Structure 1
């Protein structure tokens, strides 16, 4: 059974068995929702004469900013005005499985024309986001290739620090199309297979709703401290960003304060990652905040930052080469020993069963034919991610956060995330406490990888 068949069968069953904590339709409740979202087709003018026909929340890109209070229950009615079943995932929240928005955990799909009420108690605080968790398979007009994403900010301790202005920036790629992967020669010592499947390329990119030099600039004043919340909402593309003449003081990752706030010239954001960074506006001028790759800026991945009283053509300067290193932001204290360690090896099994797409496996198994990871409530577990492929993999754990405890031979502590990017041939260890019973999905957040097998499920034994 492929993922599409599995989800269709599961969603049909769960639509009638969702239980008391998730409600179909407005008539089923006497109370109006706190918030409403509408999944609907829209046409987006991203600039330079480029229009995108897509599906979005409330016809806007990003979707409405949802600003919630930690611990204060909220109801959100989602109406599906599109032609395909869909659902919303509340990325980074410790929800129950029915409300999490992942069919693999038991969340119901929303049929076209139907309305579903989600009931959430926002936790933890920080920069979260919401997005579709449908599959696309070979159809690049669905799922994360659309405009279904938005910021979800949960207010509550700790304080993000003194700043004068907040700016939320979401990265998205548009005009997806399949491109053949060229066979590459691999060193025999790496023992890596050659692959001939398909990858996804893009015609355009935006920060929020516009391509570089198409929307309004970010206007700042000299001496301001600006809190940038940056989100990579792309379906498949990891990005590197810079703002010439400035540094980013990273204060949080995936919404969680980092143990060691640290300033860098270049930010790395894998798919689904978020970074909160303070920028001291101390270099007056008109600048490009954008991708470090010229070809990405050329298709729109950037935004202009304009100081008050300054004008002229925006300036870009290539930053000095630098490697992204999670350990710079982490502590070095010893961490508790886990109850158990799960070793998870990721591989590309090549195109199987006459598919033109590569199948991804974890320990040799592709979803849905996987062996669940079994955990006990209250225990601490370690997952050892071994990337035996030539691709980067942003690995996301639903309904929990984890602590990154080792990258290769470097031990670290205190870096709490829900998505970690595992580089080619790299090994990364993350620890989590099984404190939120119910099925929890673990997967690569690249849509093409997730659709073709790269998922695992964690189940509680009690």
Structure 2
């Protein structure tokens, strides 16, 4: 156990508060509890079990982790927008945990974030989540537990899965749908200076530690192992891609093909268009239509050779084609959110919050950097206060050399400016803020209850990069 009072206080807060909330809930019950009168009535629509499992991600490469129902990704959950659902979560792991339903506009109690008041599920207990899913689109579910220096916990583990909320309208015409989740495995701490030098030669170097990985997978297999994606010439394939990594942003390509992006974070984009590269920050999702018009055996994978060697890729195999999978480096290009948005200016907000992100270096004897929002970090940071029905603009100023995928719980925001480019219409729940850049997003306060704002990189979130939004009245 490391660190000084700040981390001890937060860890104690998580343990004691989570256990107290769980013990007070009628739904957080020991699996073997005999008091049947407190058990939720009737069978749930879905059931998840948090438990240890062993994955063989490649020949002779096995991973021991926690997962849902002993599979990675967890079971695909298909829900209908506006139709109430119950999901029983059994915690058969050694520690208290909980599930966050990422991208849904639901109540704070069921959202699955302890900071908002969602109960932790003690080891050996069950909790029934009850909510009405909305909006429609590609969402996902994952643990929202802290990890700190335990790199087997939190989103370092295999606790993630796709959650598809189906609406009345079909997003696009397609012949086949494929869900692909990216994850990195066997993490270890490395000096922050080393990581910064590997990613950029002109960013300011910081002290402390970062996380590096040994392996990477798409779904549960490394590149070249497991079943390929099998397609036929002329097919239109809907690919749903999810970056379920704890800390790693990725850029992908499929040689000979383009991705027509139709949705981001599950929300239709105003300007669907084809691109050669897909950039996915931690927790982002992209829905893309791929026209299968280049017969062969191809590698869909990271544009970085080092990451493909770690396993970050999957083989795409056309019918009646044989041979070794082919990789070709794509043309150099820069990812630009604005190309999928409208160029007209967004409506003026009722109020603006300016939030500057920085790291304060290792504090209190810790080997990890503490992250701050306006020079304060969780839990010693005042909440933002909003009024129901008003439109708020958040100006994210990244004063650090790291990328930050910023996630807003229980709401969808509109991206209104990136750097000097104004925009509108692009609706997301995660936005990647590049080093030393500024991004502006607007949200309408239309879902009362405590709401968490945080960087989705596990290491940053664990060490201060969080803030609550509270509704007044």
TM-score calculated relative to the size of structure 2 = 0.94
In the alignment, is the contact (CA less than 8 A) between 1:25 and 1:116 conserved in 2? no
Q: Which residue of 2 aligns with 1:381?
A: 392
Alignment-derived partner of residue 50 in structure 2: 39
Q: CA deviation at 1:5?
A: 1.8
CA distance in 2, matches of 1:294, 1:421: 23
Matches within 5 A, 1:207-356: 207-356=218-367
CA distance in 2, matches of 1:66, 1:181: 37
Q: 1:7 aligns with which of 4, 14, 26?
A: 14
Match of 1:395 among 381, 400, 406: 406
Task: Encode CA deviations 1:347-399: one digit per residue, 9 max, x unaligned.
Answer: 01000000000000000001000011000000000000000000000000000
Q: Which moved more, 1:151-160 or 1:422-431?
A: 151-160
Which of 105, 108, 111 aligns to 1:94? It is 105
What is the rounded CA distance, in whole Å, between the counterparts of 1:354 and 1:221 in structure 2? 58
Q: Deviation of residue 193 (structure 1)? A: 6.2
User: For 1:356-367, what aligned pairs fall within 5 Å after superposition?
Assistant: 356-367=367-378
Asked if the contact 1:6/1:368 (under 8 Å) is kept, the reply is: no
CA distance in 2, matches of 1:17, 1:349: 37
Q: Secondary structure at the match of 2:193?
A: coil
Instruction: Confirm or deny that 1:437 pairs with 2:457.
Output: no
Q: 1:199 aligns with which of 180, 187, 210?
A: 210
- For the 8 Å contact 2:40–2:128, the answer to whether it is kept is no
Give 1:35 deviation, angstroms: 0.6
Closer/same/farther in 2, CA of residues 436 and 298 from structure 1, 3 Å limit: same
Which consecutive residues of structure 1, in runs of 5 or more, have no partner in the other structure?
none
Q: Deviations over 1:141-190 (max 9, x none)?
A: 111110000000000044211000000000000000001122779xxxx9
CA contact (8 A) 1:24 1:117 kept: no
Report the counterpart of residue 132 of structure 1 in structure 2.
Answer: 143
2:86 aligned with 1:79, yes or no? Answer: no
Aligned equivalents of 1:382, 1:439: Cα separation in 2: 18
Alignment RMSD, CA only? 1.4
Q: Of residues 74, 81, 87 in structure 2, which corresponds to 1:70?
A: 81
The partner residue of 1:454 within 450, 461, 465 is: 465
Q: How far apart are the structure 2 equivalents of 1:217 and 1:419?
A: 29
Q: Secondary structure at the match of 2:44?
A: coil
- TM-score with structure 1 length normalisation? 0.96
Q: Distance in 1 between matches of 2:373 and 2:54?
A: 38
CA contact (8 A) 1:167 1:226 kept: yes
Query: How far apart, in 2, do the equivalents of 1:258 and 1:17 lie?
Result: 42
Supply the distance in 1 between the matched residues of 2:169 and 2:16 (Cα, whole angstroms).
42
Quote how far apart the aligned CAs of 1:48 are: 2.1
Paired with 2:368 and 2:41, the residues of 1 have a C-alpha distance of: 47
Question: Which residue does the alignment assign to 2:162?
Answer: 151
Question: Number of aligned pairs?
Answer: 455
* Distance in 1 between residues matched to 2:66 and 2:306, nearest whole Å: 26
Q: C-alpha offsets along residues 439-462 of structure 1, whole Å, 9 cap, x if unaligned?
A: 000000000000000001000002
Equivalent residue number for residue 3 of structure 2: none
CA contact (8 A) 2:193 2:205 kept: no
SS at structure 2 position matched to 1:328:
helix
Q: Secondary structure at the match of 1:368?
A: coil
Residues of 2 paired with 1:31 and 1:25: CA distance?
Answer: 17
Q: Which runs of 4+ in 1 moved over 6 A?
A: none
State the shift of 1:337 in Å. Answer: 1.0
1:161 alignment partner, one of 169, 172, 175: 172
SS of 1:15 mapped into structure 2: helix
Using the alignment, how far apart are the partners of 1:298 and 1:195 within structure 2?
28
Given that residues 28 and 125 in structure 2 are in contact (C-alpha distance below 8 angstroms), is that contact kept between their aligned partners in structure 1? no
Q: Please give the alpha-carbon distance, in whole angstroms, between the structure 1 residues aligned to 2:421 and 2:177.
A: 34
Q: Of 411, 420, 423, which residue of structure 2 is paired with 1:412?
A: 423
Return the offset for 1:30: 2.0
- 2-side partners of 1:396 and 1:335: how far apart? 20
| Local SS of the residue matching 1:10 | helix
CA distance in 2, matches of 1:29, 1:61: 28
- 2:205–2:401: 8 Å Cα contact kept in structure 1? no
Question: Residues 427 and 108 of structure 1: is their aligned pair in 2 closer, same or farther, counting only changes over 3 Å?
Answer: same
Provide structure 2 residue ranges, at least 5 long, that are not aligned to the other structure.
1-5
* 1:75 positional shift: 0.4
- Residue 334 of structure 1: CA displacement? 2.8
